[in-house]
Every structure is written in C-alpha cells, then in structure tokens.
Amino acid sequence: MPKISVGDKAPDFSLHSQSDEEVRLGDYLGKKNVVLYFYPKDFTPGCTAEAKGFRDSYQAFSDGETEVIGVSSDTVESHRRFSQECSLPFKLLSDSGKRLRELYGVSSTLGLAGRVTFVIDKQGIVRLVYSSQLRPTKHIREALDALKTAKEAPKTT
C-alpha cells in the first residue's frame, strides 16, 4: 500500500458523491485547495462529530478557497442519508471498493478503517497528512492551521 506524504503529488481519483455525481480531484486543481478526509463509517459517534465539525467550519474553509471532501466505504445512499441528517454542505464520496483508501495509504487503526485528513493545495501537492483515530474533531483545526500556514508562506518563483 503506497503511503502519501507531505510534499507528494496527490493522486487523482474519480468517485461518486451522495448526489451520485462523479467527483475528481483534477476538477479542483488550479482552482481550490482540497481537504480530503477519510473516516471509518457514517452515523457513528466519532464520524458524526467530525462531519459536523467540518460543517461548522465550512465557511472558514470556503473563505480560504478550499473544498472539503469526506470519504468512506459507505454507499452513496448511506452518504445521502448521513449528509441530510447532519446538514452537510460538502461532498461525501463512496469508496466502496476501498481503492482510494489504498491509493492514499490509509490503513486500519484499532480494527477500524483509518481516520486521516490530507490538505492538498491548488497545485495538487499534499501540505498536511494528519492521522488520529481517537481525536476526530482535531482534524478540522489541523487542516485550518495548515491552510493558514500555506497561505502565509512566502511565494517562490
């Protein structure tokens, strides 16, 4: 299983969202940063808290020209119900074959599908990899901090 690290080019992907639309990382390149967060399962306490945390901070991400995208192996229909119940303004992608999870090197932790967040800049470069199974809401703060740091970094030409 490949392991994606800070500084790596993020692999492109194509998966279906809760509205059954096809979503590709490439659609955002050059336009927006992407926070791609992998979580274990819809409707579980930690995953619900994490999703609601991203929802509650969504405006801060949007203001930073960033799109939030959640990924789990749940079905499109499960994502549709979860998104509606939690009033999520962002996309949830169905990785039922766990291919994207494998492509990004997100392994299982404590017997559960891993909880890992990747911050990907507009050029497709990974700027943060944050993994914590037991601290789901810390992913939001870490992602916002990484985006702020990237924005404040001096530009090189």
| Catalytic residue IDs | 47
- Alpha-carbon gap, residue 36 to 38, rounded angstroms: 7
User: Which residues, listed in sequence order, are joined to residue 14 by a DSSP beta bridge?
Assistant: 24
- Alpha-carbon gap, residue 56 to 14, rounded angstroms: 26
Phi/psi for 60 (5° steps) reads -65, -40
- Alpha-carbon gap, residue 58 to 90, rounded angstroms: 8
CA distances from 99 to 41, 58, 95, 115, 141 (A): 16, 27, 7, 15, 27
